[in-house]
Amino acid sequence: MGAIRVPSPRGAFRVWQRNVTIFRKYWKSIMFPNFVEPLLYLAALGLGLGAFIQQGGINGQSYIQYIAPGLLASNAMFAASFESTFNTFVKLKIDRIYDAIITTPINAEDVVAGEYLWAGTRSALYGTAFLAVLTVLGLGFGEPLVSSWWALLIPPMLLVIGVMFSVLGTLFTSLIERIDLYAYYFTLVVTPLFLFSGIFFPVEEFPAPVPQIAWFTPLYHAVNVCRALATGPSPEVLWDVAWIVVFTGALALLPVQIMRRRLIG
Amino acid sequence: MSTEAKELIGTQSKTSTLVARNLKKSYDGFEAVRGVAFEVHRGECFGFLGPNGAGKTTTMKMIYGAVIPTAGELEVAGLDVRRCERDIKRRIGVVPQENNLDDDLKVKENLLVYGRYYDLPRKLALQRAEELLDFVQLTEKADSKVEQLSGGMKRRLLIARALINDPEIVVLDEPTTGLDPQARHLVWDRLRALTSEGKTLVLTTHYMEEAARLCDRLVIMEGGLIIAHGSPKELVEKYVSPQVLEFRARPEDLERLRPVVEAVSDHVERTGEALLAFTSDADALMEEVRESGIEVENTVYRQAGLEDVFLRLTGRRLIE
């Protein structure tokens, strides 16, 4: 019992595949809200608030150019967070989908890993669609919102970012008994990350300890990576990528063990 | 270990496919299963009978790996449940007590997606899904949504799902609870078809009729222990006399009748409105009652059954 359980890739793939099967049936209705939301932020803040921000914008970019890549990162966070909280909770406690799966050769640990992968996939899918829209919108405005070929690396990066937020969301899910407790997760974790990770203003220019605190939070690095890839990165972005990979790797097996204990008596 | 338990294990034969010895499970100090031993032979239908909370479901869950035993041994298809969970799960099928079909998938898709969990090739899964839908008489519902199925249909779909990997052993936790009589008979019929195919069935139930009809051998559990074991016939012979007379009368008449009946019966029980007398000579008993002159409104004669054994062993009080 005490041994640390490591998921099997085959089992995780089968769980991922189940989610893909269902997603393919309902993808239009599932994707629509996630897709529209960042466009609303872009319109309200990028165009609305952006009109009042002085010429010269931030770091030589207009305000809408500044926030667009950050919204790619936060969109991935929201997609993976919903997947690993409400959706996972329903499968765990309401529909009891996991109870059925673990009577097959797939173990509880594979289920969790499959859900990580699926959340990452969903983040990448949304991100790709949103990236395409940003590119086209940029052409329409005459000021590019995506200006580098490096942006092609954004979708795979969003997959990694999605997995990272899935690990965090699943950790919270593994610890709660009631679905209404997610209000705490979204109000105290997701929303502050969304507001203070450098999407809407550069946190680096605030006095200590604001930039130092930001460095310890996950979305900050995801925003840095997306912004760098959208405009042409410097090598420093590798630190942010490394932060994301190390953070995700260090935490990934913890929800696996807790969820296993919830599923196996 | 009790002598009864030793007797039950016997000498482990090659035909056994499920063997438990001194199996225990406790949750935070509560002992759900307190040391049970049983042996299920290949190709038989083996039942676990008992009131709610007797430890039946916990025992089933230990067989299919959803609960890990606290102590003791449990081998399924010759494999240790603690070390070979994936291999065991590959070789068994499970019909859980609560419906956990995938509502986001249609009827046939439920079987196909489940088949992927066993790595079945797509063509084979499709072929089996169609055969199984036919087997459980759901072919017409193949493209329906799960939520449109009746309770009996969902249960049959769960049975079909448990068979997608062509398992050696099928574990069924209360397969007919909550079903109407027609649906129940259809499930029984399908389960008998499975045993005639040579599959081993392990099931829990609290319907005596179900146990008597389906099980070759069974155990009765109470309070986490096995309190009796044998074939339905053996249990009836061992624990109750073959004939039962049920007398109904006014309460005061029943009280007067009781000593008369007790004098010539093997065992007498009083329920709310009746007196039950177990005997091997019902005619002699009837004669005594008639001679006593006590007014009896209604007398029912019947053969003793498993329900009598069950109630004798577990008591008539309500167990929660």
Instruction: Compute how many other C-beta atoms are within 10 angstroms of the C-beta atom of residue A249.
Output: 12
CB A102, CB A264: distance < 8 Å:
yes
C-alpha–C-alpha distance, residues A156 and A121, integer Å? 9
Question: Beta-strand (E) ranges in B14-166?
Answer: 16-27, 30-41, 45-49, 71-76, 79-80, 92-95
**Among B318, B317, B307, B301, CA closest to B239:** B307
> 3-class DSSP state for residue A227?
helix
- Give the pLDDT confidence score for residue A55 in this predicted structure: 67
Interface test with A, best of B100, B118, B158 (most A CBs within 10 A): B100
CA distances for B56 relative to A60, B47, B74, angstroms? 71, 10, 15
**Which chain B positions have a beta carbon within 8 Å of A18's beta carbon?**
102, 113, 116
- How far is the C-alpha of A24 from the C-alpha of A148, rounded, in Å? 31
Pick B96's closest partner by Cβ from A14, A99, A265: A99
Q: Would you tell me which residues 221-250 of chain A have a C-beta closer than 8 angstroms to some C-beta of chain B?
A: none
Task: Please tell me the least confidently modeled range out of A109-123, A224-238, B11-25, B297-311.
Answer: B11-25
Q: Which of A21, A99, A101 sits opposite B117 (nearest CB)?
A: A101
Bridge partners, A120 (sequence order): none
pLDDT of res. A56? 66
B105 close contact with A: CB closer than 8 A:
yes
pTM for the full predicted model: 0.88
Q: Is the CB of B117 less than 8 angstroms away from the CB of A22?
A: no
Local confidence band at A63 (pLDDT 50, 70, 90 cut-offs):
confident
Highest mean pLDDT among A225-229, B182-186, B244-248: A225-229
H or E segment and range at residue B158:
helix B151-162
What pLDDT is recorded for position B11?
45
CB atoms within 10 A of CB B28: 4
- Burial B190-224, CB ≥16 within 10 A → b, else e: bbeebbeeebbbbbbbbbbebbbebbebbbbbbbb
- Taking CA atoms, what residue in B is nearest to A260? B66
pLDDT per position as a tens digit, B93-150: 999 998 999 999 999 999 999 999 999 999 999 999 999 999 999 999 999 999 999 9
Per-residue pLDDT tens over the stretch A201-219: 998 888 888 889 999 999 9
B61 close to A259: Cβ distance less than 8 angstroms: no
Alpha-carbon distances of A118 from A102, B33, B259, B320, rounded to whole Å: 18, 38, 73, 42
Q: Are A114 and A163 contacting, i.e. CB atoms less than 8 angstroms apart?
A: no
Which chain A residue has the Cα nearest residue B98?
A96
The SS3 call for residue B208 is helix
Give the chain B residue nearest A104 (alpha carbons). Answer: B89
Contact A21 B109 (CB under 8 A): yes
Tally A–B CB contacts below 8 A.
Answer: 67
Q: Which of A30, A103, A110 to mutate to test the interface with B (most CBs of B within 10 A)?
A: A103
Q: Do domains B3-234 and B241-304 have the same CATH topology?
A: no
Q: Please answer whether residues B165 and B23 qualify as being in contact, where contact means their C-beta atoms are separated by less than 8 angstroms.
A: no
Query: Cβ separation of A21 and B165 shorter than 8 Å?
Result: no
If you write DSSP's letter for every residue of A20-62 in order, what string do you get?
Answer: HHHHHHHHHHHHHHHHHHHHHHIIIIIIIGGGGSPTTTBTTB-
Residue A85, pLDDT above cutoff 80: yes
**Is A107 in Cβ contact with B86 (below 8 Å)?**
yes
| Selection from A190, A187, A188 nearest residue A78 by Cα | A190
Cα-based torsion angle of the residue sequence B85, B91, B95, B100 in order, rounded to the nearest 10 degrees? 60
Q: Say what the ipTM of the complex is.
A: 0.89
Domain topology for B241-304: Alpha-Beta Plaits (3.30.70)
Summarised one tens digit per residue, pLDDT across range A151-175 is 899 999 999 999 999 999 999 999 9
Average pLDDT, chain A: 91
Residue B58 near chain A (CB below 8 Å): yes
Q: How confident is the model at residue B242 (pLDDT cuts 50, 70, 90)?
A: confident
B102 with A100: Cβ contact below 8 A: yes
Q: Which CATH superfamily is domain B3-234 in?
A: P-loop containing nucleotide triphosphate hydrolases (3.40.50.300)
pLDDT (tens digit per residue) in A233-242: 888 899 999 9
